[in-house]
Amino acid sequence: MLHVIGLGLGDSTDITVKGLEIIRMCDRVYLESYTSILSTNLKDLERFYGCSILEADRELVESNADEILPKDEKENVAFLVVGDPFGATTHSDLILRAREKDIKVKIVHNSSILTAIGCCGLQLYRFGETVSIPYWNNDWQPNSFYEKIISNRQRDLHTLCLLDIKIKEPTIESIAKKKKEYMPSQFMSVSEAATQLLKIIEEKNEETKEEPVLEESSLVVGLARVGWDNQRIIACSLGEMASIDLGPPLHSLIIPAINLHPLELEFITLYKCK
Protein backbone atom coordinates (compact mmCIF):
# COMPACT_ATOMS: atom_id res chain seq x y z
CA MET A 1 0.00 0.00 0.00
CA LEU A 2 1.02 3.60 -0.65
CA HIS A 3 0.33 5.85 2.33
CA VAL A 4 0.24 9.59 1.50
CA ILE A 5 0.56 11.41 4.81
CA GLY A 6 0.17 15.10 5.59
CA LEU A 7 2.66 16.49 8.10
CA GLY A 8 0.96 19.80 8.87
CA LEU A 9 2.79 23.12 8.71
CA GLY A 10 5.09 23.39 11.71
CA ASP A 11 7.52 20.77 12.96
CA SER A 12 7.83 17.03 13.54
CA THR A 13 5.18 17.05 16.28
CA ASP A 14 2.41 18.24 13.93
CA ILE A 15 2.01 14.72 12.53
CA THR A 16 -1.29 13.04 13.48
CA VAL A 17 -1.22 9.96 15.73
CA LYS A 18 -2.59 7.92 12.83
CA GLY A 19 0.11 9.22 10.50
CA LEU A 20 2.91 8.49 12.97
CA GLU A 21 1.71 4.94 13.55
CA ILE A 22 1.67 4.28 9.80
CA ILE A 23 5.14 5.78 9.26
CA ARG A 24 6.63 3.49 11.90
CA MET A 25 5.29 0.36 10.20
CA CYS A 26 6.33 1.26 6.63
CA ASP A 27 9.21 -0.37 4.73
CA ARG A 28 10.21 2.85 3.00
CA VAL A 29 9.47 6.47 3.91
CA TYR A 30 9.86 9.43 1.53
CA LEU A 31 9.64 13.15 2.27
CA GLU A 32 8.50 15.33 -0.62
CA SER A 33 11.03 18.15 -0.46
CA TYR A 34 10.21 20.74 -3.11
CA THR A 35 6.71 22.23 -2.68
CA SER A 36 7.12 23.44 0.92
CA ILE A 37 9.32 23.30 4.02
CA LEU A 38 8.93 22.61 7.73
CA SER A 39 10.58 24.46 10.61
CA THR A 40 12.68 21.39 11.36
CA ASN A 41 15.28 19.41 9.41
CA LEU A 42 15.35 15.85 8.10
CA LYS A 43 17.43 14.50 10.98
CA ASP A 44 14.95 15.81 13.54
CA LEU A 45 12.11 14.16 11.65
CA GLU A 46 13.98 10.86 11.59
CA ARG A 47 14.63 11.02 15.33
CA PHE A 48 11.00 11.77 16.15
CA TYR A 49 9.48 9.30 13.68
CA GLY A 50 12.00 6.61 14.56
CA CYS A 51 12.97 5.67 11.01
CA SER A 52 15.15 6.61 8.05
CA ILE A 53 13.62 9.03 5.55
CA LEU A 54 14.48 9.37 1.86
CA GLU A 55 14.19 12.80 0.23
CA ALA A 56 11.94 12.94 -2.83
CA ASP A 57 12.82 15.87 -5.07
CA ARG A 58 10.82 17.11 -8.06
CA GLU A 59 12.73 14.93 -10.54
CA LEU A 60 12.03 11.75 -8.58
CA VAL A 61 8.34 12.46 -8.00
CA GLU A 62 7.45 13.82 -11.43
CA SER A 63 9.74 11.76 -13.67
CA ASN A 64 10.56 8.60 -11.72
CA ALA A 65 7.47 8.00 -9.60
CA ASP A 66 7.64 4.24 -10.13
CA GLU A 67 10.72 4.17 -7.88
CA ILE A 68 8.57 5.39 -5.00
CA LEU A 69 5.62 3.03 -5.44
CA PRO A 70 5.50 -0.31 -3.55
CA LYS A 71 7.32 -3.12 -5.37
CA ASP A 72 4.88 -5.85 -4.33
CA GLU A 73 1.69 -6.47 -2.33
CA LYS A 74 3.57 -6.88 0.95
CA GLU A 75 5.51 -3.61 0.85
CA ASN A 76 4.22 -0.46 2.53
CA VAL A 77 5.53 2.93 1.43
CA ALA A 78 4.89 6.27 3.15
CA PHE A 79 5.03 9.47 1.11
CA LEU A 80 5.19 12.47 3.46
CA VAL A 81 3.84 15.84 2.38
CA VAL A 82 4.19 19.17 4.20
CA GLY A 83 0.66 20.42 4.83
CA ASP A 84 -2.08 18.22 3.37
CA PRO A 85 -1.59 15.50 0.71
CA PHE A 86 -3.82 17.32 -1.77
CA GLY A 87 -2.16 20.71 -1.39
CA ALA A 88 -0.30 20.25 -4.70
CA THR A 89 -1.31 18.64 -8.00
CA THR A 90 1.94 16.64 -8.05
CA HIS A 91 0.63 14.48 -5.23
CA SER A 92 -2.62 13.80 -7.05
CA ASP A 93 -0.60 12.58 -10.02
CA LEU A 94 1.35 10.15 -7.82
CA ILE A 95 -1.90 8.75 -6.42
CA LEU A 96 -3.32 8.29 -9.93
CA ARG A 97 -0.16 6.42 -11.00
CA ALA A 98 -0.57 4.10 -8.03
CA ARG A 99 -4.23 3.46 -8.88
CA GLU A 100 -3.30 2.63 -12.48
CA LYS A 101 -1.03 -0.12 -11.13
CA ASP A 102 -3.76 -1.42 -8.80
CA ILE A 103 -1.77 -0.29 -5.77
CA LYS A 104 -3.91 0.50 -2.74
CA VAL A 105 -3.65 4.09 -1.51
CA LYS A 106 -4.44 5.47 1.92
CA ILE A 107 -4.59 9.20 2.67
CA VAL A 108 -3.92 10.80 6.06
CA HIS A 109 -4.98 14.44 6.05
CA ASN A 110 -3.51 17.34 8.02
CA SER A 111 -3.67 21.13 8.17
CA SER A 112 -2.57 23.14 5.13
CA ILE A 113 -2.04 26.78 4.24
CA LEU A 114 -5.43 26.70 2.47
CA THR A 115 -7.17 26.45 5.84
CA ALA A 116 -4.56 27.85 8.24
CA ILE A 117 -4.77 31.29 6.60
CA GLY A 118 -7.91 31.77 8.66
CA CYS A 119 -5.53 32.78 11.46
CA CYS A 120 -5.46 36.32 10.05
CA GLY A 121 -9.17 36.73 10.72
CA LEU A 122 -10.48 36.63 7.15
CA GLN A 123 -13.33 34.16 6.80
CA LEU A 124 -12.45 31.06 4.79
CA TYR A 125 -15.74 30.79 2.94
CA ARG A 126 -15.07 34.20 1.35
CA PHE A 127 -11.91 33.14 -0.45
CA GLY A 128 -12.06 32.87 -4.22
CA GLU A 129 -9.62 31.18 -6.57
CA THR A 130 -6.11 30.72 -5.14
CA VAL A 131 -3.27 32.02 -7.30
CA SER A 132 0.47 31.41 -7.51
CA ILE A 133 2.88 34.31 -8.04
CA PRO A 134 6.02 33.16 -9.87
CA TYR A 135 9.46 34.72 -9.85
CA TRP A 136 10.14 37.01 -12.80
CA ASN A 137 13.34 37.23 -14.80
CA ASN A 138 14.46 39.39 -17.71
CA ASP A 139 12.89 37.07 -20.28
CA TRP A 140 9.77 35.84 -18.49
CA GLN A 141 7.31 38.05 -16.59
CA PRO A 142 3.91 36.31 -16.57
CA ASN A 143 0.97 38.20 -15.08
CA SER A 144 -2.05 35.99 -15.79
CA PHE A 145 -2.52 35.51 -12.02
CA TYR A 146 -3.40 39.21 -11.76
CA GLU A 147 -6.63 38.75 -13.71
CA LYS A 148 -7.72 36.07 -11.23
CA ILE A 149 -7.08 38.47 -8.35
CA ILE A 150 -9.18 41.11 -10.08
CA SER A 151 -11.95 38.59 -10.77
CA ASN A 152 -12.07 37.69 -7.08
CA ARG A 153 -12.10 41.36 -6.08
CA GLN A 154 -14.99 42.09 -8.45
CA ARG A 155 -16.97 39.32 -6.75
CA ASP A 156 -15.98 40.69 -3.34
CA LEU A 157 -13.86 37.66 -2.50
CA HIS A 158 -10.44 37.30 -0.86
CA THR A 159 -7.45 35.93 -2.80
CA LEU A 160 -4.73 33.75 -1.32
CA CYS A 161 -1.48 34.23 -3.22
CA LEU A 162 0.98 31.36 -2.88
CA LEU A 163 4.49 32.67 -3.46
CA ASP A 164 7.12 30.98 -5.61
CA ILE A 165 9.52 28.42 -4.15
CA LYS A 166 12.57 27.16 -5.99
CA ILE A 167 14.29 24.15 -4.40
CA LYS A 168 16.86 22.11 -6.31
CA GLU A 169 15.98 23.79 -9.60
CA PRO A 170 18.43 22.93 -12.42
CA THR A 171 20.37 25.80 -13.99
CA ILE A 172 19.78 26.61 -17.67
CA GLU A 173 23.40 25.69 -18.39
CA SER A 174 23.08 22.28 -16.75
CA ILE A 175 19.96 21.48 -18.79
CA ALA A 176 21.83 22.30 -21.98
CA LYS A 177 24.86 20.28 -20.92
CA LYS A 178 22.73 17.46 -19.46
CA LYS A 179 24.80 17.73 -16.29
CA LYS A 180 23.01 18.13 -12.98
CA GLU A 181 23.78 21.51 -11.44
CA TYR A 182 21.27 23.34 -9.28
CA MET A 183 20.47 26.95 -8.46
CA PRO A 184 20.51 28.12 -4.83
CA SER A 185 17.14 27.72 -3.13
CA GLN A 186 14.84 30.74 -3.38
CA PHE A 187 11.69 31.62 -1.47
CA MET A 188 9.65 34.62 -2.60
CA SER A 189 8.91 37.18 0.11
CA VAL A 190 5.75 39.24 0.51
CA SER A 191 7.73 42.36 -0.41
CA GLU A 192 8.86 40.78 -3.70
CA ALA A 193 5.31 39.69 -4.51
CA ALA A 194 3.94 43.15 -3.70
CA THR A 195 6.59 44.80 -5.87
CA GLN A 196 5.64 42.62 -8.85
CA LEU A 197 1.95 43.40 -8.32
CA LEU A 198 2.66 47.13 -8.23
CA LYS A 199 4.49 46.88 -11.56
CA ILE A 200 1.53 45.06 -13.10
CA ILE A 201 -0.90 47.65 -11.74
CA GLU A 202 1.22 50.45 -13.20
CA GLU A 203 1.22 48.77 -16.62
CA LYS A 204 -2.53 48.10 -16.50
CA ASN A 205 -3.28 51.69 -15.53
CA GLU A 206 -1.37 52.89 -18.59
CA GLU A 207 -3.43 50.59 -20.82
CA THR A 208 -6.87 51.59 -19.53
CA LYS A 209 -8.45 54.69 -18.04
CA GLU A 210 -10.97 52.69 -15.98
CA GLU A 211 -11.05 53.03 -12.21
CA PRO A 212 -8.61 50.42 -10.80
CA VAL A 213 -9.97 47.48 -8.81
CA LEU A 214 -6.61 47.05 -7.07
CA GLU A 215 -4.23 49.89 -6.33
CA GLU A 216 -1.23 50.86 -4.24
CA SER A 217 -3.42 51.93 -1.33
CA SER A 218 -5.44 48.67 -1.23
CA LEU A 219 -5.31 46.62 1.97
CA VAL A 220 -3.26 43.42 1.82
CA VAL A 221 -2.17 40.87 4.43
CA GLY A 222 1.27 39.31 4.63
CA LEU A 223 1.82 36.04 6.48
CA ALA A 224 5.10 34.32 7.29
CA ARG A 225 5.81 30.84 8.66
CA VAL A 226 2.15 30.04 9.33
CA GLY A 227 1.91 27.27 11.92
CA TRP A 228 5.45 27.83 13.22
CA ASP A 229 6.32 29.16 16.66
CA ASN A 230 7.60 32.41 15.11
CA GLN A 231 4.61 33.02 12.84
CA ARG A 232 4.08 36.65 11.76
CA ILE A 233 1.10 38.46 10.25
CA ILE A 234 0.88 42.06 9.11
CA ALA A 235 -1.88 44.07 7.42
CA CYS A 236 -1.05 47.22 5.48
CA SER A 237 -1.39 48.80 2.04
CA LEU A 238 0.04 47.08 -1.02
CA GLY A 239 2.53 49.93 -1.38
CA GLU A 240 3.72 49.51 2.22
CA MET A 241 3.97 45.72 1.82
CA ALA A 242 6.61 46.22 -0.88
CA SER A 243 9.05 47.31 1.84
CA ILE A 244 7.95 44.98 4.67
CA ASP A 245 10.43 42.39 5.97
CA LEU A 246 8.72 39.40 7.54
CA GLY A 247 11.93 37.44 7.92
CA PRO A 248 12.67 33.88 6.77
CA PRO A 249 10.30 31.81 4.57
CA LEU A 250 7.67 30.65 3.93
CA HIS A 251 5.57 33.72 3.04
CA SER A 252 2.01 34.08 1.73
CA LEU A 253 0.09 37.16 0.59
CA ILE A 254 -3.64 37.77 0.81
CA ILE A 255 -5.54 40.34 -1.24
CA PRO A 256 -8.74 40.82 0.80
CA ALA A 257 -12.17 41.52 -0.63
CA ILE A 258 -13.08 45.19 -1.04
CA ASN A 259 -15.82 45.02 1.60
CA LEU A 260 -14.95 43.25 4.84
CA HIS A 261 -17.35 41.83 7.40
CA PRO A 262 -17.25 43.79 10.71
CA LEU A 263 -15.66 40.78 12.46
CA GLU A 264 -13.01 40.57 9.73
CA LEU A 265 -12.26 44.27 10.10
CA GLU A 266 -11.93 43.96 13.88
CA PHE A 267 -9.61 40.96 13.55
CA ILE A 268 -7.45 42.53 10.81
CA THR A 269 -6.97 45.60 12.99
CA LEU A 270 -4.91 43.42 15.35
CA TYR A 271 -2.28 43.11 12.61
CA LYS A 272 -2.27 46.65 11.22
CA CYS A 273 1.07 48.47 10.96
CA LYS A 274 1.62 50.56 14.07
What is the average pLDDT value for the chain, to the nearest integer?
92
Q: How far is CA 57 from CA 132, 133, 154, in A?
A: 20, 21, 38
Q: What is the pLDDT of residue 210?
A: 73
Do 111 and 142 touch, CB atoms closer than 8 A? no
| 162 preceded by a cis bond (ω within 30 of 0) | no
Poorest-pLDDT segment among 8-17, 46-55, 87-96, 165-174: 165-174
The 10s digit of each residue's pLDDT in 175-199 is 666 677 777 889 999 999 999 999 9
Q: What is the pLDDT of residue 190?
A: 98
The 10s digit of each residue's pLDDT in 212-244 is 899 999 999 999 999 999 999 999 999 999 999
Between the two ends of the chain, the Cα-to-Cα distance in Å is 53
pLDDT band at 205 (very low <50, low <70, confident <90, very high): confident
Q: What is the pLDDT of residue 124?
A: 96
pLDDT band at 114 (very low <50, low <70, confident <90, very high): very high
Which structural domains are found in the chain, ordered by start?
A: 2-111 (3.40.1010.10), 114-270 (3.30.950.10)
**Interatomic CA distance for residues 226 and 251, integer angstroms:** 8
Q: Is 226 annotated as a binding-site member?
A: yes
Q: Is 270 annotated as a binding-site member?
A: no
Q: What is the pLDDT of residue 180?
A: 74
State whether residue 248 is helix, strand or coil: coil
Q: Is 105 annotated as a binding-site member?
A: no
Q: Is 94 annotated as a binding-site member?
A: no
pTM: 0.92
pLDDT at 55 over 80: yes
Q: Is 38 annotated as a binding-site member?
A: no
Radius of gyration over every alpha carbon of the chain, rounded to an integer in angstroms: 20
Q: Is 9 annotated as a binding-site member?
A: yes
CA angle (114 as vertex; 136, 238 as ends), nearest 5: 45
Q: What is the pLDDT of residue 176?
A: 67
